[in-house]
Chains A and B, each alone.
Chain A
């Protein structure tokens, strides 16, 4: 009784703090963060912790006898031919599409920024391939590149040059090339529109002054346009690179990852070994390595482009 009596002031103090209008309002406001907190916990934090845990155990999804195996799963990734192939093609795809799309999208944006008849329609046509699902476009391209008579490209090669059919999707190197070409086809216009927005913010006076000073169009492009596009290049190449590393839909629908493992991707590898074959440990190790690779590449790319931007400005 006395103990309770002594505690009472502190208790009422805490109660009055809890029930004060200011605290209450603060708590009610804090409640707005509960939903995103649940999303964060259930879809990010807990699964990520589990991925890390699975990656150092021999957990197979069924057996309750789980053992710590250290880095064994990580060692296995680098000796598994399919995972190595997936790693290789994913890197090739990410770097290939980033470089090719950037090299094509910048000049395309410059041209789309000029005045010409039909400009709006041309812009829309270039932009459109990025709008539908790339999975459906991958399937459609599978038919276009088919070696059969109805495959448009081989039909055209036969009609024009009398040769073919070229095994676009059944030869390893050609399949890799085909996947990258279709990706470039679908995303160049999208990135050109991104560059276009940045181009439109460059004051026309700059070009006027350069022209008065006798600069050639080539010089204006390299001395004015390109440096002022540096922030856009950072953004666009970062999107291409991260998107490229996460690629799954296009190679999967166009070539199923084949022939052999020629166009196999990391994502396909994670799904196949982790869900279809229940090799949780190895798939989780690959997922962790993948996350670190993506993080490292993004970090390097950000540092490099920051430097580049500093140098040109």
Chain B
């Protein structure tokens, strides 16, 4: 195969295009270091000095830490629950091909295809009944719906493993729980990471669920907090940009650390989805 030459012209073109795509991020970052006057006179200019008042003001006026902890709690709890439920189901489905299970498999496909909007109103009423509206646990409960997606991906991965591993363990006298904890979970670690990363992006970034179900300021997730802050900072643009940047920092770290897994999840999720 002929080795492609690196083209300087293409390089220039692509870097320029990437710069255009990246400008909105540049815009919000530079404006966090400006006063309101500077932002309105020259929004795209680089900051003239290291002006940090916006950061101080935002940290003083917005309970970012509380929202961060709320988001972290909801995300971690939901991910653990959906990975456990999904992997348990995938494991049982792999080893038991009864008629009942084949019917269940079909039902799960149908459930997977039903858009959340179609069940939103009754689900809201169920949450009211359970007194879970406006609680973080209510969000975790709703996100458990993601188990079905996890089940599909984990099941696909389990199928690629030789079934003799489980048979051997069974013959050695291991019970279903032992096989699940000692053999299945360690073996499916790669897919658990991929699915976990993918679902983390969903929950961390989700806006519709907290916006519908959360009303107390002390139970806001980060995304909801930024949304609510627009009114508060409608004239104080630099403060809003600062809040956005602070909220985006963990996302950037996550992106850099997990890029490979994100791409994996994108590919696997797209194959299944």
Contact = CB atoms under 8 A, between A and B. Distances in A.
B263 interface: yes
Main secondary structure, interface of B, reads helix
Nearest to A243: B273
Contacts of B125: 50, 61
A100 to B, nearest CB: 15
B201 A270 contact: no
Contact of B116 (A32, A115, A144, A246): A246
Given A126-B18, A189-B21, A116 B7 contact: yes
Interface in B185-222: 201, 204-208, 211-212
B67 interface: no
B227 A155 contact: no
Contacts of B8: 116-117
Nearest to B184: A32
A115 to B, nearest CB: 5
A48 B22 contact: no
A294 interface: yes
A10 interface: no
B47 interface: no
B244 A140 contact: yes
A271 B101 contact: no
A80 B145 CA distance: 32
Nearest to B238: A150
B240 A116 contact: no
B248 interface: yes
Contact of A36 (B117, B151, B176): B151
Interface in B9-34: 10-11, 14-15, 17-19, 21-25, 27-28, 31
A48 B118 CA distance: 7
Interface in B78-137: 84-86, 88-89, 91-93, 95-96, 101, 104, 107-108, 111, 113-126
B119 A208 contact: no
Interface string B144-162: 1101100100000000000
B47 to A, nearest CB: 14
A116 B12 CA distance: 9
A155 B237 CA distance: 15
Nearest to B250: A132
B259 interface: yes
Contact of B115 (A32, A238, A291): A291
A43 interface: yes
Interface string A258-282: 0000000011001100110000100
B175 A194 contact: no
B14 A25 contact: no
A221 interface: no
A50 B266 contact: no
Given A40-B107, A134-B205, A144-B27, A51 B1 contact: no
A32 B86 CA distance: 10
Given A39-B145, A139-B244, A25 B175 contact: yes
Given A131-B255, A152-B44, A33 B104 contact: yes
A5 interface: no
Given A29-B96, A115-B4, A249-B208, A287 B120 contact: yes
Interface in A17-45: 25-26, 28-33, 35-37, 39-40, 42-45
Interface stretch (B35-43, B48-56, B57-65): B35-43
A137 B111 CA distance: 30
Contacts of B7: 114-116
Contacts of B5: 115
Nearest to A276: B212
Contacts of B251: 131-133
A40 B115 contact: no
B118 A155 contact: no
A99 B126 CA distance: 38
Interface string A123-140: 011111101111111011
Given A43-B119, A47-B122, A133-B251, 9 more contacts: A30-B92, A39-B144, A45-B111, A117-B11, A122-B18, A134-B205, A194-B266, A235-B273, A287-B121
Please give me the 5 A-B residue pairs with the lowest Cβ-Cβ distance, nearest first.
A133-B205, A135-B207, A47-B122, A32-B92, A47-B119
Interface of B: 1-2, 4-8, 10-11, 14-15, 17-19, 21-25, 27-28, 31, 39-44, 84-86, 88-89, 91-93, 95-96, 101, 104, 107-108, 111, 113-126, 142, 144-145, 147-148, 151, 175-177, 180, 201, 204-208, 211-212, 223, 226-227, 230, 237, 240-241, 244, 247-248, 251, 254-255, 259, 262-263, 266-267, 270-271, 273
11 contacts: A36-B88, A37-B104, A115-B6, A116-B7, A118-B11, A135-B207, A141-B24, A143-B240, A144-B24, A205-B1, A291-B114
